[in-house]
A and B are shown apart, each in its own frame.
Chain A
Amino acid sequence: MQTRIKELRAKHNITQLELAKLANVRRETIVFLEQGKYNPSLKLAHDIAQVFKLSIEEVFIID
């Protein structure tokens, strides 16, 4: 699963650490999400999408 997290972070000027704090996860989780090495739970996907005020489908692209 691909994500637009890196692009959205740059657009909103948020670091990985800041996003991790906002989503209440570890920074490594954000790194793995950006690299497509981890499929988040529905709750985490929702929490991250909420940070960017977007829907889940706009942040996560299912192959």
Chain B
Amino acid sequence: MKNTKLYLALLILGTITFAFGLYVYSLFDEISLFHLIAILVVAILVIVGIIIGIKRLKDEKQGLPPEDELSKRIKTKAGAMAFIYSFYVWLIILVFTMDSHINRIEVPLGIGLFSMGALYLMFWAHYSNIGVDDANPH
């Protein structure tokens, strides 16, 4: 049952990658630097997701659980820190877009959403590296 979930997750990631590839192909005539950056970011996220999925599959084959109390605490702490700092990100976006001439609302929204995701990934990587020792927070 757990293996099925992981395979399904990898399949979904592969489908998203394929769909995004088709979208990129359709943009070929009008591709800009912004599009290239967006493509690169999505590609990195998909590759990281696939690597994590494969690692989880390997761990499961070795008889290890995909999640335990530490990994859940790391996710929770990373989520909490990302949420707090995302307030500042949205504040900065608000300040910069207030009197700007940006006609398309999806640009600042996209930047904000991407920043929130990036913050979560940064904090997750940070706590995955240093651990979670709530008794001695430094």
Contacts and interface: CB of A to CB of B under 8 A. Distances in A.
Interface of A: 1, 17, 20-21, 24-29, 32, 35-41, 44
Contacts, number: 48
Interface string B108-138: 0000000000000000000010111111000
Contact of B63 (A21, A38, A41): A21
Interface of chain B, main secondary structure: loop
Contacts of B130: 37
B2 to A, nearest CB: 13
Nearest to B56: A26
Interface of chain A, main secondary structure: loop
A39 B133 contact: yes
B48 interface: no
